[in-house]
Amino acid sequence: MDDRGVTAVATGPRSLAELSTQALVDAARSRRDSAFGTRITYSPKVFIPLTRLCRDRCGYCTFATAPRSLAAPYLSADEVLVIASAGAEAGCHEALFTLGESPESRYPEARSWLNTHGFSSTVDYLRAMCDLVLTETGLLPHANAGAISADELALLRPATPSQGMMIESLRPDLAAHRGAPDKTPERRLATLDAAGHVAIPFTTGSLVGIG
């Protein structure tokens, strides 16, 4: 207790787990700084919501919706170019494609739209739109296609300088993911592992506060 009657509280690690976490953070910071320095950079990007349909039912999602809420299951090529061109004019460097996971396996409307337009899957259509944006606007496509297979990662790679997928959570019993077959830890980690094997620059992250 000091002369003001305030009891001093230790601010150091209170457990082995906290100590281990801090050591890991310190090691990661040291490695990052030695390799890349301490300068922070960013790449302006425009978001292109290719489809808001998704086969997963996540308890916290505000992006996915139902076909009745949309004019069409997917953005058309013209709509994609309008968004991408506006982004390029605004000074963006990247086109971030956001979409639901495998909506054609849940919604007949999505499957019918893809068949009508000559595409075998959402990822097949995504590849075509990445090619279009890169060719027509010069923006670098970044694809957030979710938990996809090694073959799908390879399909996207020639048109995407980078790809990504949120790991979200490694809890297999997360209540918010009960209706989400693509959100099992095994499936998410398999996608990350496959991307690593073929050296795809990949972004990921976890969601804090979902359980």
Of 78, 92, 91, 101, whose CA–CA distance to 47 is shortest?
Answer: 92
Does residue 6 belong to any structural domain of this protein?
no
- What is the separation of C-alpha 203 from the centre of its chain, rounded to a whole number of angstroms? 7
Q: Note whether residue 94 is domain-resident.
A: yes
Q: Is residue 1 scored above 70 in pLDDT?
A: no
Q: How far is CA 72 from CA 52, 65, 109, 197, in A?
A: 10, 12, 9, 36
Q: What are the tokens at 131?
A: 């090619």
Mean pLDDT for the stretch of residues 69-95: 98
Instruction: Give yes or no for residue 178 having a pLDDT over 60.
Output: yes
Residue 105 counted as domain residue: yes
Domain around 177: 44-203
- Contact (Cβ atoms closer than 8 angstroms) between residue 44 and residue 94: yes
Specify the pTM: 0.83
For position 54, which CATH number holds? 3.20.20.70
For 90-141, write each residue's pLDDT tens digit: 999 999 999 999 999 999 999 999 999 999 999 999 999 999 999 999 999 9
Within a domain: 154:
yes
Give 17's pLDDT tier (boundaries 50, 70, 90).
low
Number of domains the chain is built from: 1
Residue 18, in any domain of the structure = no
Confidence of residue 10 (pLDDT cuts 50, 70, 90): very low
